[in-house]
Structure 1
Amino acid sequence: MWKGAPASSFGKAKDLRDNETEAEKLLWKNLKNNQLGGFKFRRQHPISLYIADFYCHKLKLIIEIDGGYHFTKEQIQKDEERTKILEFNGVNVIRFSNDEVLSNIDNVLNEIKKYLPKV
């Protein structure tokens, strides 16, 4: 899925990993090392022209954690367009706010589990 990502995305992704939000840290603590259903997630992963907060290639799933600026009219439109493009290419996108992650991580994890295959 990283094919087509500009070279500059990889440096930016590293910067984002080095400066993650508290919500991203908390979710990563619960996703890393295949903790969620045995699936490998990557954080700040370049996909085409975008950088996904969290991505699982096997599930074709992107998890976005949205801070305050994501709730401006302009950013909402950009996020919707980005989601449409990614979904058109076979990737599911789910979004949570920073507040959702920080105040109810169990609910967030349960929502993510809905995208895991049923055993």
Structure 2
Amino acid sequence: MIKQFVLLAALTAGTAALADAPTITKVEASRAGMGWRFDVTLAHPDTGWDHYADGWELIDEAGNQIAYRELMHPHVEEQPFTRSLRNVMLPDGLRTLWVRAKCSQDGWSTNTFEVTLAPE
């Protein structure tokens, strides 16, 4: 599912519909207590409350949501920016997941950022 999703993103990346899609530039994943911590850096041409990056999610290979981080306000003057999500519990054996960002106006981006977790 994800491979098809990424292929679609590559084929449509030049279209105007994706011109304002949030771009994930960096993801750091680390063990934190019983769960995981994810620090996600993204860029988006936020214009204010009417158009801004308003969230990101962690998804598995089948596209199932593992966790969601809501972004509560625009970051017009802070680009790119990093936000964290802590205490994420992952299924046993999961070693690869994807991060996908959301825009308040255009919805979920078709671009994903692959994350390979370090073995424990």
Alignment TM-score > 0.5, same fold: no
Larger strand percent: 2
TM-score normalised over the length of structure 2: 0.30
Larger helix percent: 1
TM-score normalised over the length of structure 1: 0.30
